[in-house]
């Protein structure tokens, strides 16, 4: 097993690895709309989805994978009314890569209240 770390990420003090490579798979921990400098993106669901996918892509690339090699994603939304706009933003980021298997839940997140999304993923290397 190989753990993926993100140097300088303010979240690295949490008891988790941003990503773990095992065999030919990379498991990416839940990513939220926060930039590497610690800035939370609290705007529209589109802005938050873009930031989350930027974070996912960073970890996937460090593991030797990419968005095109995603196998499965779990999506956690805090507002049901964001579902349609989320789907549009999600499709825009992944449609050219092929859509992975997905589960979407409406739930409460352990983040600032303005954060409306978290995504974890499994990709192939």
Each residue's pLDDT tens digit, 67-124: 999 999 999 999 999 999 999 999 999 999 899 999 999 999 998 999 999 999 999 9
Mean pLDDT for all residues in the chain: 93
CA–CA gap between residue 11 and residue 77 (Å, rounded): 20
Predicted structure pTM score: 0.94
Q: Which CATH architecture has domain 2-124?
A: 2-Layer Sandwich (3.30)
CA–CA gap between residue 26 and residue 73 (Å, rounded): 12
CA–CA gap between residue 62 and residue 114 (Å, rounded): 29
Q: What is the pLDDT of residue 13?
A: 67
Of the chain, the percentage scoring pLDDT greater than 90 comes to 83
Q: What is the pLDDT of residue 9?
A: 60
């Amino acid at each position: 097993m190989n753990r993926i770390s993100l140097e300088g990420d303010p979240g690295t003090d949490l008891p988790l690895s941003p990503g773990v490579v095992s065999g030919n798979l990379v498991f990416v921990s839940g990513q939220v709309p926060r930039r590497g400098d610690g800035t939370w993106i609290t705007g529209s669901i589109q802005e938050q989805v873009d930031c989350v996918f930027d974070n996912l892509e960073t970890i996937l690339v460090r593991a030797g994978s990419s968005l095109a090699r995603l196998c499965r994603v779990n999506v956690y939304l805090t507002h049901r009314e964001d579902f349609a706009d989320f789907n549009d933003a999600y499709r825009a980021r992944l449609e050219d890569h092929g859509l992975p298997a997905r589960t979407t839940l409406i739930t409460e997140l352990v983040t600032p209240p303005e954060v409306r999304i978290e995504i974890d993923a499994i990709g192939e290397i």
